[in-house]
Amino acid sequence: MAVSPPAGVSDGALTSAIDAFVAALGSERVLTSEEDLREFRDPFQPHSWDTYTPSVVVLPETVEEVQAVVRAAAKHRVPLWTHSTGKNNGYGGAGTRVQGAVTVSLRRMNKVLEINEDLAYAEVEPGVTWRDLYEEITRRGLRLMGSNTDLGWGSAIGNTLENGFSYGVNGSDQSLACGMEVVTADGEVLRTGMGAMDGNRAWHTYKRSYGPTLDQFFMQSNFGVVTKMGVWLLPAPDIYMPVWVRVWKEEDLVPLVDELRRLRLARALEAGPVIYNTLIYASAFGRREEFYRGDGPIPEATIDEIARKIESGRWLLRAGLFGNETVVDAQFSIIKQAFERIPGAEVWGTKHAFDDIPKLQHPGELVTGGVPNIEANHITGWYSENDGAHISFSPVVPADGRELFELHKVLRRTLEQEAGLDYMVGSTSVNARSLIHVGIIAFDGSDETVARSAYDTAKRMVGKAHEQGYGEFRAHLDAMDEVAAQYDFNKHAYLRFVERIKDAVDPVGILSPGKQGIWPRHLRPRGNGRPS
């Protein structure tokens, strides 16, 4: 094996587990060579300090094969790490929290099992990407559109399980998902919601269970392996209107967020708004050297120049309206009036018939319009075309302009002064009342010193956000424990409760140990309470 087994697991145990995986899946779907494992590591961590790389990758194709893998892992006490498909860039990629764990890649479970046009939902497997779902809808000629994330290579299930958001009508909070099938640590299969009844007709139409609803219990957790999920879709609207708002001063973020909150609460701006700062928008279309060649963070005056050159302003908001033309027109008029209260603000939008959406040129307008692409990945190349890297840092903030702006300033100052890096951020309006301030800490991954500084600064920013009263919605593998430690109400009562559940539903501790700081008993680093 190219990678050693995890601490506490003997070579013999891992070999026995591999034998069992091969017996269940065949040898071609059990990967152990260095070459095969490469794409399952954290892609942005310098190789010399690999700490999140699996020793084995298994590729089940059916639920029964997932069950067999889980049972073999339990028998030989080998930790697994589930990865649906996609990249998870900025959060550790497909890497495993425990070095040497066995990655269960679900990329070959890639069937769209059902699409119900009348009720506007699909049932998908974890290997189904946004792109796959879009193509299947198109192939069948259905009048439906999906709510997509920035990168079409991602898994609809994987993104949902990480509390990811998407930009369409079903993108807020957890509205996308409805009803799951899950393999638990004992190798059994259960279904959530109405699916707990064999043959129930409402599984993917009703969000709750008789009894506690477990869909969100299986999000950001290590309590099971999700093998099917209902995904809500939107019937083709008459009109899609991508909407843009541009403001020119850094402090314009304050009224921009306040107007956005009021519009969202009034349901005039329905679907997934995101606010880019100048540099993240610049990175989506060009590389840093095209704009600035100095060391250290790009100076304020140069950012203003870039803002004019790429016509982004200092903050650029993108959103979408979908529906009947009269309603869309009325909503746009309300939106325009609201944002134009900000001096210098510009608001524009163009109307498109559903069938014309794929002809749009702007990748962001395509994404919000339900047509997946991967253009946004360009941001990774900001500091280096071939060795570009980034870490995401993503606190949750109430939709209050002053609060967001003050936090932004603290985080920007920290990154610029302590790591000497540019601050690139996209704030996503996950609902009317809160935003996730997704900072992209981009760096040149070929420079180990810079990489170390980026990783360390990202961790320090966790504490800086906490001091202001904010926590991250998600974390890089490298900071999962540090972020969990910030959730400290009543001596980490939440984490202690969740770990009690972990011990009950996965007593051997094989499912994704360490995910979101949740460890099985034998690996729990510091007893029940977590020091900060």
* Minimum distance from residue 65 beta carbon to a copy of itself (Å): 17
CB of 115 to a copy of itself, least distance (A): 14
The two beta strands, 102-105 and 80-83, are: parallel
Cβ proximity to a copy of itself, 267 vs 293, nearer residue: 267
Provide the 10 A C-beta neighbour count for residue 90: 25
Q: What is the DSSP string of 493-524?
A: HHHHHHHHHHHHH-TT--BSTTGGG---GGG-
Q: How far is CA 496 from CA 409, 515, 522, in A?
A: 33, 14, 14
Q: Which is nearer to a copy of itself, 440 or 483 (CB)?
A: 483
Nearest distance from C-beta of residue 213 to a copy of itself, angstroms: 4
In the complex, minimum distance from the CB of residue 170 to a copy of itself, in angstroms, rounded to a whole number: 10
Q: Which is nearer to a copy of itself, 131 or 437 (CB)?
A: 437
In whole angstroms, the minimum distance from the beta carbon of 46 to a copy of itself comes to 27
Rounded to a whole number of angstroms, the distance between the first and last alpha carbons of the chain is 36
Query: Phi/psi zone of residue 394: left (φ > 0), alpha (ψ -120 to 50 degrees), beta?
Result: beta
Q: Take residue 23 and report the two structure tokens written for it.
A: 């017996």
Nearer to a copy of itself, 421 or 461 (CB): 461
Nearer Cβ to a copy of itself (219/280)? 219
Chain CA centroid to CA 405, Å: 23
Find, among 437, 431, 368, 366, the residue nearest to 175 by Cα: 431
- How is residue 379 annotated by DSSP? G
Answer for the pair 246, 253: CB distance below 8 angstroms, yes or no.
Answer: no
Closest approach of a copy of itself to the CB of residue 52, in Å: 19
Q: Contact, 273 vs 264, CB < 8 A?
A: yes
Q: How far is the CB of 379 from a copy of itself (least distance, A)?
A: 24
CA dist., res. 294 & res. 305, Å (int): 15
| Closer residue to a copy of itself in complex, CB, 353/493 | 493
Rank residues 319 and 451 by Cβ distance to a copy of itself and give the closer one: 319
Q: Which tokens in the block code for residue 513? A: 């140990």
Q: Hey, is 434 helix, strand or coil?
A: strand
Tokens 């202001």, residue located: 468
Residue with smaller CB distance to a copy of itself, 2 or 505:
505
User: Cβ of residue 13: shortest distance to a copy of itself, in angstroms?
Assistant: 26
Residue closer to a copy of itself, measured from CB, 185 or 307: 185
Give 107 or 474: the residue with its C-beta nearer to a copy of itself. 474
At 315, list the tokens: 């903050």
**Closest separation in Å from C-beta 447 to a copy of itself:** 31
Q: Which two tokens stand for residue 46?
A: 């310098």
- Other beta carbons within 10 angstroms of residue 491's beta carbon come to 10
For the CB of residue 217, give the shortest distance to a copy of itself in the complex, in Å.
5
Least Å distance, CB 32 to a copy of itself, is 31
Does an H or E element contain 462, and which?
helix 448-468
Q: How near is the Cβ of 261 to a copy of itself at its closest, in Å?
A: 7
Q: Helices (DSSP H) in 353-447: which residue ranges?
A: 363-368, 401-414
Of 113, 14, 111, nearest to 55 (Cα)?
14
Tokens 């060391």, residue located: 295
Is the CB of 10 or the CB of 468 nearer to a copy of itself? 468
Which is closer to a copy of itself, CB of 153 or CB of 217? 217
Here the tokens at position 491 are 């001596």
Buried b (16+ CB within 10 A) or exposed e, 113-151: eebebeebbbbbbbbbbbbbbbebbeeeebebbbbbbbb
